Amino acid sequence: MTLEMRRALARLPYEEKLRRVAALIEFSRRFRRPLPASDTSIRPVLPPTPKH
Amino acid sequence: MPVPDIPLGEIFTAADGLRAAGLIREYALGGALAAVRYTEPFTTYDADIFFIPSDPGLSAGIPAIFAHLRAAGYGEEGGHTLVRGFPVQWLAARGLTEEAVREAEALEFDGVPGRVFRVEHLVVIAASVGRPKDRARVQQLLEQGNVDRDRLADVCRRHHLTLPRL
């Protein structure tokens, strides 16, 4: 990705950027390689949005 | 399946509740979620809310802040408040971060008023922390954040900081 492309992304509205951050979090949760049982590293995990 | 969103408006509402209760004097969003306002989107897993405490003591009123948030129905995990499942860290501001809170920019998110660190303060704060990821953040903010170089120089001068060579 070029610097100009990154600058274009930087100019997106804040609301849209946070939607993409949320999408990145969800993607990384689904895409993460399964850890071996012996791995004890701490990884942040977001719970699903609570249903009201 | 809908993607859970970042509940920033509700985070501002929680912070405003603390201000209304007299537990904090002022607050503003800092850290990575604030940086996203000025750069390309990147993954971050929590919100950092910096606050000017009403309690000048060593505890900065943190126990009372957590008690208030628990009473308001927010969950808690690992020293973070959970706002609709999203972790929020409360950080007492001092020196550079206190100035960043006082000079924060007002905004509205999901119709809720809030405050966010200016990009110049984010640059200098990252430079002052100095880890490799903070140096990368400084570069990213300078390249993408449309930084006011005069304001940036003023902040650096006031806090006796120089930016790293990138």
Rounded to an integer, what distance in angstroms lies between the CA atom of residue B94 and that of residue B91? Answer: 9
Residue A33 pLDDT: 64
DSSP per-residue codes, B26-91: EEEEEHHHHHTTTSS------EEEEEEES--STTTTHHHHHHHHHHTT-EEETTEEEETTEEEEEE
> In the prediction, which pLDDT does B48 show?
97
Helix or strand run (H / E) with residue B24: strand B24-30
pLDDT of residue B22: 97
CB pairs under 8 A between A and B: 75
Q: Do B85 and A49 touch (CB under 8 A)?
A: yes
Q: Within 10 Å of residue B98's Cβ, how many Cβ atoms?
A: 17
Whether A21 has a pLDDT exceeding 80, the answer reads: yes
Least Cα separation, residue B150 to chain A (angstroms): 21
pLDDT digits (tens, 9 = 90+) for B63-92: 999 999 999 999 999 999 999 999 999 999
- Tokens 């912070």 belong to residue: B15
Residue A10, pLDDT above cutoff 80: yes
Q: What is the pTM of this model?
A: 0.86
Task: Pick the residue from chain B with its C-alpha nearest to A51.
Answer: B84
pLDDT at A36: 64
Report helix angle B132-144 to B119-129, nearest 10. Answer: 160
- For residue B165, pLDDT beyond 90: no
Per-residue pLDDT, B29: 97
Rg (C-alpha) for chain B, rounded Å, is 16
Is the confidence metric ipTM above 0.85 for this complex? no
Contact B144 A18 (CB under 8 A): no
Average pLDDT over residues A8-15: 94
Residue A40, pLDDT above cutoff 60: no
Mutation site, A2, A4, A18, A24, interface B, largest B CB count within 10 A: A18
**CB-CB under 8 Å, A44 with B5:** no
* Mean pLDDT of the residues in chain B: 93
Res A52: pLDDT: 45
A49–chain B Cβ distance below 8 A for any pair: yes
Contact B103, B134 (CB under 8 A): no
Sheet holding B112-116, edge to edge: B75-77, B80-83, B86-92, B47-53, B24-30, B112-116, B105-109
User: Mean pLDDT over all residues of chain A?
Assistant: 75
- Please answer yes or no on whether A28 and B43 come within 8 Å at the CB atom: yes
Q: How far is the alpha carbon of A38 from chain B, nearest alpha carbon, in Å?
A: 23
- Cβ atoms within 10 A of the Cβ of B100, count? 24
> What is the phi/psi pair of residue B114, to 5°?
-155, -175
Please, is A29 exposed, middle or buried when counting C-beta atoms within 10 Å of its C-beta (0-12, 13-18, 19+)?
middle
CB contact under 8 A, B40 and A10: yes
pLDDT in tens, B132-147: 999 999 999 999 999 9
| Amino acid occupying residue B162 | T
Lookup result for tokens 């993954």: B43
The predicted structure's pLDDT at residue A34: 67
